Amino acid sequence: MLLSGINRRTVAKQTSHSAIAVSQALAPALSAPGPEEIRAQLEKVLASRLFARSTRLCRFLRFSVEESLAGNGGRLKEQIIGMEVFDRKSDYDPRIDPIVRVEARRLRAKLKAYYTSTGRGDSIMIGLPKGAYLPFFKMRAAAAAGPRTSLIATSGSALVSRKSIAVLPLANMMQGADDDYFSDGLTEELIHLMTRIPSLRVVAWSSTSKLRGQEADLAGIRRQLRVESVLRGSVRRTPERVRVTVQLIDSASGDYLWSETYDRGLENVLEMQGEIARAIVQTLRVKLTGLPPTETPGRAPTVACYNLCLQGRYHANKRTAEGLHKSVERFEEAILADEACAEAYAGLADAYSLLADYGQMSPAEAVPKARAAAERALELDPQSAAANVSLAAVRSVFDWRWEEAEVLYRTAIAANPGYSRARHWFGLDYLGLLGRFEEGLAEIRVAHDLDPLSMIIREGVGYMHMICRDYPKSVAVYREITDMDPDFYKGFSSLGRVLSLMGKYDLAIAALQRARELGGQVPSILAALGEVLGRAGRIEEARALLDELTALSQTRWVPATCFAILHLGLGDYSATLTFLETATNRREMPVTALKVHPLYDPLRSEPRFQRLLERIGLS
């Protein structure tokens, strides 16, 4: 049965106000910024390096803020913005010309980048909610006490590590899309090769890429990434040649430690790219560690394949249904471009594993494809860290061959100790699930140290604290995530789950409703929201979500674990166990958390539950 009219209105009303409820309820009580404070913050944002050259975005932001402060929020509609900001005529039709929506997305991205870099310590945040043009203004609790280190870091890792480096995106001096791929590819190749240098901590690409355009802010880079040295430079191409200039800089003093220019022909772009990367790495190996040069052999994929692999990882890191499906497409295209590329097969395996993990595809469909791709990747390159990790993930959370999975994870880490994904998945999806919490936290902290701006890894740290029953630490991490990235739905959904375990049902419901607004009709979010509503005694609303999940299952894959969780909130343990048995038969990934997840504590004395643990190999 679908939602009744009353229930639909109730849920819609609660959802429309959930963003406000979350921001008001979760943040410490701080006074709202005044108009003059907001205007001063606006000028600071517009004067920043990120906004200085974006005339249209500056005009857009200024217009929105001033109209809001003047009490004219009702005027902030697409048609008026199009005419006032983008000089469209009076007959402007937003349905035909989407410029306002396009530029609004760019503005949100710019503001997000500003507050995670240059404006990280600012006390006032100006933001533009998703799907709206009326800005919000708030005091930032984290910034009120001045700059901070991450709550995730241990006391030692919060300091700048010795023998550490961040390779910033090499500036493309040609301003062409193809050249962007080349310069980004060269940057990632440098990072990949540097991670093989013993005792050198190298920040992952997914973190350094977020600092594009901020290369001059050495103090900010040092604070955010905790690195001793920074490598930055530029790439300039002509039809026949390429010139790469790089500088190694001390992040504290700004002193140049080393600089070099490489000039090569373009007979074979990718081989030349690898040659330059190896030359730089060999030099840095001696400069930064005192170790002698060593060979770094490896087969290079074709240019097209390499670029498609970059795109595949980019889409996978979004962790959205659209992003994961696009990731599959890009890796399949990469394999067509180069059938001998282990990285492409490993990426395809990860994309299918994540589709099953996030409930976007049935394990029966996704897992065989993930397994086949991972096994093929390992056949092509037995020493590939990426291939070993991909197969380890399949062997653990889907095949339940736990001992074999550990060997594969450790092989990957031995091959490349600086591979953040290996540390992340080994800590979270292996050690944590087996109840080896101390080891798991150590691994995921290493992953965070290698990739400090990754929201996915931060979310994993919060999850580890949650299954350790350290709820305050878990909440602190998730609040840090939602402050840093207000559009990351998993930050809110994970926060809602742990608040529910603490008995703070109203806050949990507000967080989960915000996650639903951001993530859409994700079955796991609907299930978690229904479970908390049931716990809170709001049975009618919980059953309405159960009906919604049932209707949704008629048109798309909905994991049985979602129904199990919702019935758990309703107190129907028999139905919960029945659905968990179905989920185990289907080898749904969430059942691998049965041993450690606090949500299942009421079921631990049930013989049926103990038999499930035995089947999964977790007894």
In terms of pLDDT, which residue wins out, 136 or 434?
Answer: 434
Reading the block at residue 368, the tokens are: 């065989």
> Would you state the pLDDT for residue 500?
96
> Would you state the pLDDT for residue 11?
40
- Indicate if the pLDDT at residue 285 is higher than 80: no
- The mean pLDDT of the chain is 83
- 87 pLDDT band, cuts 50/70/90, is confident
The predicted-structure confidence for 97-125, as pLDDT tens digits, reads as follows 888 988 998 899 889 888 887 787 787 88
Element containing residue 246 per DSSP (H, E): strand 241-250
Range scoring the smallest mean pLDDT among 293-302, 357-366, 458-467: 293-302
> Would you state the pLDDT for residue 364?
87
Q: What DSSP letter does each residue of 221-240 carry, written as one string?
A: HHHHH--SEEEEEEEEE-SS
> Would you state the pLDDT for residue 25?
47
The predicted-structure confidence for 470-498, as pLDDT tens digits, reads as follows 999 999 999 999 988 888 899 999 999 99
| % of the chain exceeding 70 in pLDDT | 84
Residue 470: count of CB within 10 angstroms of its CB: 15
> Would you state the pLDDT for residue 216?
82
Three-state secondary-structure class, residue 256? strand
Q: How far is the C-alpha of 456 from the C-alpha of 42, rounded, in Å?
A: 30
Q: Is the dihedral of CA 80, 82, 88, 94 positive or negative?
A: negative
- 569 pLDDT band, cuts 50/70/90, is very high
**CA 172 to each of CA 49, 111, 206: distance values in angstroms, whole numbers, following the listed order:** 17, 23, 18
Reading the block at residue 130, the tokens are: 């998703």
Closest CA relative to residue 101, chosen from 128, 75, 125:
128
pTM of the model: 0.70
- Indicate if the pLDDT at residue 294 is higher than 70: no
Range scoring the smallest mean pLDDT among 2-16, 495-509, 539-553, 583-597: 2-16
Residue 6 CB burial class (10 angstroms; 0-12, 13-18, ≥19): exposed
Mean pLDDT along residues 33-46: 82
Q: How far is the C-alpha of 579 from the C-alpha of 594, rounded, in Å?
A: 13
- Indicate if the pLDDT at residue 287 is higher than 90: no
| % of the chain exceeding 90 in pLDDT | 43
- 27 pLDDT band, cuts 50/70/90, is very low
Three-state secondary-structure class, residue 496? helix
Mean pLDDT along residues 402-428: 93
- Indicate if the pLDDT at residue 586 is higher than 80: yes
> Would you state the pLDDT for residue 520?
87
* Four-point Cα dihedral 297, 302, 308, 309, nearest 10: -20
> Would you state the pLDDT for residue 113?
85
The predicted-structure confidence for 186-207, as pLDDT tens digits, reads as follows 788 788 778 877 678 889 888 8
Closest CA relative to residue 393, chosen from 337, 437, 354, 342:
354
Q: What DSSP letter does each residue of 399-440 carry, written as one string?
A: T--HHHHHHHHHHHHHH-TT-HHHHHHHIIIIITTTT-HHHH
- Indicate if the pLDDT at residue 449 is higher than 60: yes
> Would you state the pLDDT for residue 391?
92
Mean pLDDT along residues 217-237: 87
> Would you state the pLDDT for residue 158?
45
What single DSSP character describes residue 319? -
Mean pLDDT along residues 24-44: 67
Range scoring the smallest mean pLDDT among 34-48, 295-309, 383-397, 517-531: 295-309
Mean pLDDT along residues 451-473: 93
- 340 pLDDT band, cuts 50/70/90, is very high
Within 140-176, where are the H helices?
141-144
**CA 264 to each of CA 235, 241, 243, 259, 603: distance values in angstroms, whole numbers, following the listed order:** 11, 6, 7, 17, 65
Q: How far is the C-alpha of 580 from the C-alpha of 562, rounded, in Å?
A: 9
- Indicate if the pLDDT at residue 90 is higher than 50: yes
> Would you state the pLDDT for residue 330?
94
What angle is formed at CA 179 by the lines to CA 174 and CA 183, rounded to 5 degrees?
105
| Residue 265, beta-bridge partner list | 241
In terms of pLDDT, which residue wins out, 420 or 321?
Answer: 420
> Would you state the pLDDT for residue 270?
61
- Indicate if the pLDDT at residue 151 is higher than 70: no
Reading the block at residue 142, the tokens are: 């984290």
Range scoring the smallest mean pLDDT among 64-73, 154-163, 273-282: 154-163
How many residues are recorded in the chain?
Answer: 619
520 neighbors 544 (Cβ within 8 angstroms) = no
- Indicate if the pLDDT at residue 152 is higher than 50: yes
> Would you state the pLDDT for residue 286?
62
Element containing residue 249 per DSSP (H, E): strand 241-250
The predicted-structure confidence for 508-524, as pLDDT tens digits, reads as follows 999 999 999 998 889 99
Element containing residue 448 per DSSP (H, E): helix 437-450
